[in-house]
Structure 1
Amino acid sequence: MGTTLHFINHASVIIEYNDGQNQQMVMTDPWFQQPAFGSWLPNPPTAFHPALLASLSYDHPNFSFLISHGHDDHFDDQWLKLFNKDIRIFTANYDAPSVRNRLKALGFHNVVEVTPELSVHDLFRIRCFINTDVSNDDSLYMITTPDSCIVHANDLWYPLKDEAVSIIKEEIATVPEGRSVYMSQSNSASGYPMTYPQIEDRSQILMEKVTKMTTQGLRNAKTVDAKYFLGYAGYSSIFVKGKEEYLDKAIFPSPHWMRSHYQELIDELGVEMLDMLPGDRFDFSEVQQNLWSKYSQDASIKNCTIDYYKQYDIINQCDTYHLTESLDKEEMVEKLEGFLTGFDQFVQRYLERKEFEKTIVGKVFTIEVEDMDITRSVKIGEGLVETDDFNKKMRVTPEVMTAILNKQILFENTSTGYEANFFREPLETYNRDFIVYLTMYSYVYKKSKDRATSTV
């Protein structure tokens, strides 16, 4: 009796409370096998069939969803269509209405916005914390049941702000000692460094990146006095045609892998890492493991999942396996110039409203379309320019670029989805500002009516 944490897959868990008389559950961030960013598929797959989980929304009166943010590995439209449209769905009170609008377009009408203030929903208390220094469109959540507190940090592995630390610590102190879990991203969520051909030691840098994320998540758990840590939001494989090395070199961040690399820090911090894979559950007394968690090795789980996606042709849903059309050169140039001009105008308008990543002004972004002798550049604040110099350059296939310009896919699929190669000058400068703004702009561009417009 009490709270049980069920690990579904990736960033999806079910927090269930049952004291024999009262029951409530909330499921976070659904993702079955709709390719995220055009190339990601969950690995391991969801531990329970989507139809069985969807049935809970019809027969359990206190079943709810929590959608942390709008990325497809946290928000599977196809799976959500199976669920009862009357259920309550929680999400943060973001300035941009994209998550809310997307849910309403799917038919959900009971969308509840969560804020940092205390918000009581039946047996659960839910708060969110948006760190605008990192992202305007992602949030950390705190879910408090009558006997436990669970932090659902999603992709926000960064150091917590003092205000959030204070509130989370106070909330954890309200539940019985030892009944708190901090869940945090434990793997890379972008194409860097694997899609950067300039970088020779990509595997080493990937390891350093994952170490930075995971160790910070562990430190955050310690900072807020959480008893347990669950590394999640990192279980996926990348399917890009002709780039099988993305499958081979990807890290599988299982508890066994994390212990083998971070046990010294875990011991130092005194945070207990939960030994859970998708399908396992934790009732604050012990982890109850499924058969595969007990007996299967990491490599077997990872490889059998990849074989499953190939055997059932699911990889053919990924962008680079089915995109075949390409614009002719003249139309490609026209639409590409419109895309880049619109991007420059979007950034300038955004900066008039908010001081966010102002470093982008004056920088040059270049797109090079492979095999078509097409290269176009934009200098933020000035528009299209002719130059061989750049701060960041993307080299992309005609098929992928065509799909972006024709609004079939998002620009984010090239970076987070590994569907293009990137270059930067100087090599040591990440230029995160470009990726952040291009990601925001690509959502606006994809929704605009005129595909070639420069006034998006």
Structure 2
Amino acid sequence: MKIRYIANACFHITLSTGQTLLTDPWFDGPCQQTWWNFPPVPDALKAQIWASRPDAIYISHLHHDHLHPQTLAPFDRATPVIIGKMNTPNLRAALNVLGFTNLIEVPFETRHAWGAAELVLFKDFHGNTKGDETAVEYDLDTSIYLYDPDGARLFNAVDNTILPADAARIAAEYGVPDIAMLPYASASLYPMAMGDYDDAKKLEAMRAIRTRTTANFRENFKALGPKRVIPAGGEYVLGGPVAELSRYLPQPLEAELAAEVGEALAKLHPGDELDSEILAITREKDAPFRNFTDDQRAAYAMTLADHHPSYVTLNLPRDLPFDWTRALKKCAANYAARREKMGLSIPADIHLDVRDGGGNPLTTFSFSAGDGEGERASLTYQLDRNLLFALITGLLSWNAIEASALMTIRRDPDVYLHDLHRGIVHFTLVS
């Protein structure tokens, strides 16, 4: 098995039989409105992968750094796409809209034949990387375990919130993989978008997350027991109006991860290839920013500061015949109906502080996340009306946009309620 890294969670995998699998293709242009590949992918490598005609594409979940229309555009729409058999139709529908209808929906935790190979898919392990469970029954992330007929084994956790107990169970029930791809970075708006945090507090929060995710990477590696471990996913910088926030991205550097797992670390850059038989890496000579520093990453982000998010170009004149009050009340009613269906009631109030393109206040709108019991929390999203319009009409997803730090967040008390953020996806006109 040969595993070639492209960008973020995108790998080109070649089995001993010659079968090829491309995972989560995002390597061209921005996603999540402001994310850009880092390190950037050379044009020659992009062309190679587009011309590769993989036997199948694996899409782990709906977010645009895994399901990226611009990157997927050149691929043959007849290409089989492997996805998990989820409890919602969202991923399937999104692929159908893009023209991909040859979908292989795999039931979770079942060995499934794929040509001469086998694979197993896993659904969400937890609500977040602290191990909290979620009351929102919405299958989002998936992971994949791949068995090469020659005996080589690969486990790719992708963005899934895997913890050491999960890793140990997978090793015990499905076998110790030769190679594992494990998440090591947080893809969240925290602390970049926190409006009540000054620079010092953002840096303190960033370092705390970095320490926690690095330790989790180490403990997952130890519990799973692979011969080599690839840190993958969450490898991006922010561009556009939030480019300067890239200095708060809590993505550990190669040296920090190597200090935790030693020579087992296989930090790959665009074009690098890891061979499962000899466990050696063939380095791409033209891969940029090898062994980069935090300062180099942040400086590259600033070169993207003039790239504006697509929602900015929405033409919403002041006399737009759109009844905002009625629309937001409809969104709140849809959100309440979905919470009731899920049995989700959070003692919190949500406030929308809507601004114009210049940051001037336009209106506010408040609604409840459920009655609940005890002291009520307060969460405020500050965002401009173009972005709000895109969110409530489904042009953008609340869950995906949160990671882009395009909204300023304030919360009282300063406590993360993951079900509140995960459930806000239902605050739309069509839910």
Give the one of 419, 424, 428 matched to 1:438.
424
Kindly tell me: are residues 296 and 400 of structure 1, through their superposed partners in 2, closer, same or farther at Cα, counting changes over 3 Å? same
Return the offset for 1:327. 5.2
1:32 aligns with 2:31: no
Question: Alpha-carbon deviation of 1:436?
Answer: 0.4
**Letter in structure 1 aligned against 2:423:** Y
CA contact (8 A) 1:390 1:424 kept: yes
The equivalent of 1:172 in structure 2 is 175
Q: Larger deviation: 205-214 or 131-140?
A: 131-140
Q: What is the percentage of aligned positions where both structures have the same residue?
A: 18
Partner of 1:453: none
What corresponds to 1:274 in structure 2? 266
In 2, Cα distance between equivalents of 1:123 and 1:339? 48
Select the residue among 293, 298, 305 that pairs with 2:292: 298
Query: Shift of the alpha carbon at 1:230?
Result: 1.0
CA contact (8 A) 2:39 2:289 kept: no
Matching residue within 38, 44, 65 for 1:43:
38
Deviations 1:16-57 (CA, angstroms, capped at 9, x unpaired): 123xxx311111000023432221121123355434312221
How far is the alpha carbon of 1:234 from its aligned partner?
1.9
Amino acid at match of 2:419: D
1:177-198: CA deviations, max 9, x gaps? xx71121222220111111122
Q: Which residue of 1 aligns with 2:368?
A: 379
Q: Is 1:154 equivalent to 2:158 in the alignment? A: yes
**3-state DSSP of counterpart to 1:248:** helix
SS at match of 1:30: coil
Instruction: Identify the residue that residue 130 of structure 2 maps to in structure 1.
Output: none
2: distance between equivalents of 1:424 and 1:251?
Answer: 21
SS, match of residue 93 in structure 2: helix
Distance in 2 (CA, whole Å) between partners of 1:306 and 1:165 is 37
1:231 corresponding residue in structure 2: 231
Q: Which residue of 1 aligns with 2:404?
A: 417
SS at match of 1:391: strand
Listed as ranges, the matches of 1:263-342 within 5 Å are 263=259, 265-267=260-262, 272-284=264-276, 285=278, 286-292=280-286, 296-299=290-293, 302=297, 306=301, 309=304, 315-316=307-308, 318-319=309-310, 321-323=312-314, 325=316, 331-342=323-334
CA distance in 1, matches of 2:207, 2:395: 33
Map of 1:184 onto structure 2? 182
Pair 15,34 (structure 1): closer, same or farther in 2 beyond 3 Å: same
Q: Give the corresponding residue for 1:386.
A: none
Counterpart of 2:63?
A: 71
Q: For 1:408 and 1:30, how far apart are their aligned partners in 2?
A: 21
The one-letter amino acid paired with 1:422 is I
Query: C-alpha distance in 1, partners of 2:3/2:418?
Result: 35
- Out of 9, 13, 16, the position equivalent to 1:15 is 13
Q: Do the aligned partners of 2:243 and 2:301 also contact (CA within 8 Å) in 1?
A: no
Cα contact 1:327–1:398 (8 A) shared by 2: no
Query: Please, which of 339, 342, 366 is the counterpart of residue 347 of structure 1?
Result: 339
**1:362 pairs with 321, 344, 347, which one?**
347
Conservation of the 8 A alpha-carbon contact between 1:188 and 1:209: yes
2:119 equivalent among 126, 139, 144? 126
Residues in 1 aligned to 2:218 and 2:317: alpha-carbon distance in whole angstroms: 46
Partner amino acid for 2:10? S
Contact 2:266 2:281 in 1 (8 A): yes
- Output aligned runs, 1:55-134, within 5 Å: 55-57=51-53, 63-114=55-106, 115-131=108-124, 133-134=126-127
Q: Residue by residue, what CA displacement relative to the aligned partner does 1:318-342 show, whole Å, maximum 9, x if unpaired?
A: 2365356365698333322322232
Alpha-carbon separation, structure 2, partners of 1:160 and 1:251: 20
* C-alpha deviation, 1:308, in angstroms: 6.8
In the TM superposition, residue 6 of structure 1 has moved relative to its aligned partner by 0.5
For residues 296 and 361 of structure 2, what CA distance do their matches in structure 1 show? 41
1:406, CA displacement in angstroms?
A: 4.4
Classify 1:167/1:434 alpha carbon distance in 2 versus 1 (closer, same or farther; 3 Å): closer
- Determine the structure 1 residue equivalent to 2:384: 397
Structure 1 pair 307–239 and aligned structure 2 pair: CA distance change class (3 A): closer
Are the structure 2 counterparts of residues 350 and 31 from structure 1 closer, same or farther at C-alpha, using a change threshold of 3 Å? same
Gaps of 5+ in 1: 174-178, 352-357, 384-388, 449-455
Residue 209 (str. 1) matches residue 204 (str. 2): no
1:173-232 Cα distance to aligned partner (Å, 9 max, x none): 5xxxxx711212222201111111223411221222133223213311221221211111
Q: Secondary structure at the match of 1:244?
A: helix
Match of 1:354 in 2: none
Query: One-letter code of the match for 1:155?
Result: D
**Larger mean Cα displacement after TM superposition, 105-114 or 407-416:** 407-416
Matched with 2:244 is 245
Structure 2 counterpart of 1:298, which letter?
A: F
Shift of 1:291: 2.3
Aligned CA-pair RMSD: 2.9
Secondary structure, counterpart of 2:409 in structure 1 = strand
1:348-398: CA deviation from partner (whole Å, max 9, x where unpaired) = 1222xxxxxx4x433211111133352221123469xxxxx7521111123
What displacement does 1:250 show?
Answer: 2.9
Secondary structure, aligned partner of 2:52: helix
> In the alignment, is the contact (CA less than 8 A) between 1:34 and 1:76 conserved in 2?
no
Residue 254 (structure 1) shift:
4.2
Report Cα offsets for 1:95-122 as digits up to 9, x if no partner: 1121122222222232112231111212
Specify whether residues 324 and 257 from structure 1 end up closer, same or farther in structure 2 by C-alpha distance, changes over 3 A only: farther
Between structures 1 and 2, the one with greater helix share: 1
Asked if 1 retains the 8 angstrom alpha-carbon contact of 2:214 and 2:252, the reply is: no
Match of 1:176 in 2: none
Secondary structure class of the residue paired with 1:298: coil
Q: CA deviation at 1:93?
A: 1.0
CA 1:168–1:90 in 2, change beyond 3 Å: closer, same or farther?
farther
Counting matched residue pairs gives 405
Give the Cα–Cα distance (whole angstroms) in 2 for the partners of residues 124 and 215 of structure 1.
33
Query: What is the alpha-carbon distance in structure 2 between the residues aligned to residue 422 and residue 181 of structure 1?
Result: 38
